[in-house]
């Protein structure tokens, strides 16, 4: 059967909350999908189709029930250059092709989907567990700021879209205070936020966000109040409206591969970037929703579902997408925890396109902005201000850096940078932990007892522990409290053995674990001559093979 027993149970365990929450999310998806379509330079319907197809596939087959996927800004920004280049090529052809950039995007999404599916097949989703907590906090803080800034584009013209207004602060404030539309919008945003804040204190049986949108929409429509709506926003961006039909199969893209001659590098590189951005944002969102719901999703399954959804977008004319943290938080906070919530959101979005466009276009932008502002407040990790002075300085730097890079560049670069910084700090700390206790045995043999991990970062400190020229004839290196981790460590030991033998001295290696010995044997047969196998020491059996350590501790001599 297509849906397993566990999936069917997930659909039926809380249908009321999932349905109401899904409807709320669908309303919040509309302006986001439209706005990101404008960013990418394509028709809003392409963004809406993309949000529907990504949303329905991941809701049914994804690795995180309750997580919402759709068209996202992080991916839209990457698409811009590809679409522009494709359009330029299309105009320059002997027989010009209109919107060739969009067709190239559909082709690229086929590769994006294949890459993401392969990531799931090879179980790369598990690597999200390697993301440190400071990176996670920086991610949510940066994303909260990005969500907030993205809402400024929905305000009347007096509101700045970037920080350039700082050069003309007085002029901007003058325009702002004289802008009645701005203050009218601020009033309805405040009303939306007040309802979302106060209603849960009275009842949690219905999503506060949905009620807030309905109330504000009712006031503006019934009161005949002139205010920016979804419809006016689409027209201001150059769109014609939300009304459309079902997504259609894009068979024409298979006849356009010839136009890609000389541009395959752009297609493939863009596909890898889109796949990486989509997976990082999705897996980070999955991790966050896991923490919020105290449950655990399946990252590898999510990779496969996202890949399948993006391939479907390429075949049926959507802009592609990935998980959306803002809408996912709206869903969870509204009580949507099952797969039904995501499916309802996606189907409702399609219904808006097919049947409800005139009604949806009347929804005030202020209501949707108010909902997203509450998401910003709920997303930002306010505790980071309290703990930043209590955590190690390296973690504080990572937290701030990831937040800043998320706003400055994008979250994929920010997360990768945060993980790299954290990894380098971890490697440096471990590199300084290598120690060597030295003692002379009764027979005159000098023993170096090594403590700490031996890897590329610690080999310099490791080499400095030995006094090759002044050491006695026989030397032992005891690794019972250490571990040989990589090729750099093997090379360091091999060079050390050669230096001792060049001085005419005997060197032995003791207490190496089985995997360490296998590594060293593969590296050079020379190691077999210096590794001591038979050692009457219970600690050796622990390091070498735990299964050999079968007797009670009392039977081993101390």
In this structure, the answer to whether residues 170 and 100 fall within a common structural domain is yes
In this structure, the answer to whether residues 483 and 364 fall within a common structural domain is no
Digit-coded pLDDT (tens) for 51-110:
999 999 999 999 999 999 998 877 887 898 899 999 999 998 888 888 899 999 999 999
Helix (H, G, I), strand (E, B) or coil at 452: strand
Digit-coded pLDDT (tens) for 45-60:
999 999 999 999 999 9
For the four alpha carbons of 305, 309, 314 and 318, in that order, the dihedral sign comes to negative
In this structure, the answer to whether residues 217 and 266 fall within a common structural domain is yes
Q: 251-259: long-range contacts at Cβ-Cβ below 8 A with a sequence spacing of 24 or more?
A: 252/103, 253/103, 253/106, 253/107, 253/314, 256/97, 256/100, 256/103, 256/104, 256/107, 257/107, 259/89, 259/90, 259/93, 259/97, 259/100, 259/104
Structure tokens at 199: 């209603």
Going by pLDDT thresholds of 50, 70 and 90, the confidence category of residue 168 is low
CA 160, chain centre distance (Å):
29
In this structure, the answer to whether residues 174 and 288 fall within a common structural domain is yes
> What is the number of structural domains in the chain?
2
Task: Give the end of a domain, one of 402, 421, 453.
Answer: 402
In this structure, the answer to whether residues 390 and 470 fall within a common structural domain is no
pTM of the model: 0.73
340 is a domain residue: yes
Helix (H, G, I), strand (E, B) or coil at 448: strand
184 is a domain residue: yes
- With 60 as the cut, is the pLDDT of residue 535 above it? no
CATH code, 538? 3.30.750.24
Going by pLDDT thresholds of 50, 70 and 90, the confidence category of residue 177 is low
DSSP 428: H
Q: Quick one: three-class SS letters along 220-243?
A: HHHCCCCCCEHHHHHHHCCCCCCC
In this structure, the answer to whether residues 216 and 267 fall within a common structural domain is yes
In this structure, the answer to whether residues 384 and 467 fall within a common structural domain is no
**460 or 126, higher pLDDT:** 460
Nearest to 493 by CA among 526, 541, 534: 526
423 is a domain residue: no
270 is a domain residue: yes
Digit-coded pLDDT (tens) for 335-372:
888 899 999 999 999 999 999 888 888 888 888 888 88
412 is a domain residue: no
In this structure, the answer to whether residues 352 and 207 fall within a common structural domain is yes
Report in angstroms the alpha-carbon separations of 145 from 152, 371, 385, 407. 11, 15, 15, 7
- Strand partners for 474: 506
In this structure, the answer to whether residues 197 and 112 fall within a common structural domain is yes
Digit-coded pLDDT (tens) for 441-459:
999 999 999 998 888 889 9
**The predicted structure's pLDDT at residue 250:** 94
CA 56, chain centre distance (Å):
20
Domain that holds residue 522: 433-555
* Cβ-proximal residues to 350 (8 Å cutoff; 6+ apart), any chain: 52, 246
Task: Give the end of a domain, one of 402, 420, 445.
Answer: 402
410 is a domain residue: no
414 is a domain residue: no
238 is a domain residue: yes
In this structure, the answer to whether residues 250 and 148 fall within a common structural domain is yes
In this structure, the answer to whether residues 298 and 253 fall within a common structural domain is yes
Mean predicted lDDT score pLDDT of the chain: 84
User: HSE of 167 in the Cβ direction (CA atoms, 13 Å)?
Assistant: 3
């Amino acid at each position: 059967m297509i849906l397993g027993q566990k999936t069917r149970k997930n659909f039926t365990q809380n249908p009321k909350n999932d349905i109401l929450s899904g409807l709320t999310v669908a309303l919040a998806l509309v302006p986001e999908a439209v706005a990101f379509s404008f960013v990418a330079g394509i028709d809003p319907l392409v963004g809406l189709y993309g949000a529907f197809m990504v949303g329905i596939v991941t809701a049914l087959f994804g690795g995180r029930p309750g997580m919402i996927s759709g068209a996202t800004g992080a991916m839209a920004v990457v698409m811009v250059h590809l679409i522009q280049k494709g359009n330029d090529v299309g105009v320059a052809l002997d027989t010009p092709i209109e919107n060739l950039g969009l067709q190239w995007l559909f082709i690229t999404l086929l590769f994006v989907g294949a890459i993401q599916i392969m990531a799931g097949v090879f179980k790369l989703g598990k690597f999200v567990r390697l993301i440190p907590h400071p990176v996670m906090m920086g991610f949510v803080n940066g994303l909260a700021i990005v969500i907030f800034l993205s809402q400024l584009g929905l305000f009347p013209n007096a509101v700045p879209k970037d920080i350039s207004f700082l050069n003309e602060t007085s002029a901007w404030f003058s325009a702002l205070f004289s802008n009645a539309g701005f203050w009218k919008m601020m009033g309805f945003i405040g009303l939306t936020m007040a309802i979302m804040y106060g209603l849960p204190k009275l009842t949690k049986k219905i999503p506060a966000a949905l009620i807030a949108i309905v109330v504000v929409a009712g006031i503006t429509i019934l009161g005949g109040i002139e205010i920016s709506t979804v419809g006016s926003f689409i027209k201001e961006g150059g769109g014609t409206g939300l009304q459309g039909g079902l997504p259609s199969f894009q068979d024409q893209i298979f006849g356009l591969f010839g136009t890609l001659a000389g541009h395959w590098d752009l297609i493939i590189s863009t596909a890898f970037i889109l796949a990486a951005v989509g997976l990082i944002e999705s897996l980070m969102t999955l991790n966050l929703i896991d923490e919020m719901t105290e449950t655990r999703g399946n990252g590898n399954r999510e990779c496969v579902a996202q890949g399948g959804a993006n391939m479907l977008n390429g075949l049926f004319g959507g802009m592609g997408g990935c998980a959306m943290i803002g809408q996912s938080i709206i869903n969870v906070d509204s009580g949507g925890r099952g797969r039904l919530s995501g499916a309802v959101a996606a189907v409702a979005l399609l219904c808006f396109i097919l049947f409800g466009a005139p009604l949806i276009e009347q929804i005030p932008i202020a209501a949707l902005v108010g909902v997203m502002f509450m998401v910003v407040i709920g997303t930002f990790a306010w505790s980071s201000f309290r703990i930043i002075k209590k955590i190690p300085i390296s973690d504080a730097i990572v937290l701030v850096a990831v937040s800043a890079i998320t706003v400055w560049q994008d979250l994929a670069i920010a997360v990768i940078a945060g993980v790299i910084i954290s990894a380098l700090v971890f490697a440096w700390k471990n590199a300084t932990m290598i120690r060597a206790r030295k003692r002379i045995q009764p027979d005159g043999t000098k023993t170096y007892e090594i403590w700490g991990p031996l890897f590329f970062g610690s080999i310099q400190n490791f080499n400095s522990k030995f006094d090759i020229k002044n050491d006695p004839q026989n030397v032992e290196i005891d690794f019972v409290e250490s571990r040989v981790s990589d090729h750099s460590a093997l090379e360091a030991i091999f060079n050390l053995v050669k230096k001792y033998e060049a001085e005419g001295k005997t060197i032995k290696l003791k207490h190496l674990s089985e995997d360490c010995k296998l590594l060293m044997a593969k590296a050079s047969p020379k190691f077999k001559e210096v590794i001591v196998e038979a050692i009457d020491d219970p600690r050796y059996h622990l390091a070498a093979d735990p299964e050999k350590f079968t007797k009670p501790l009392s039977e081993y001599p101390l």
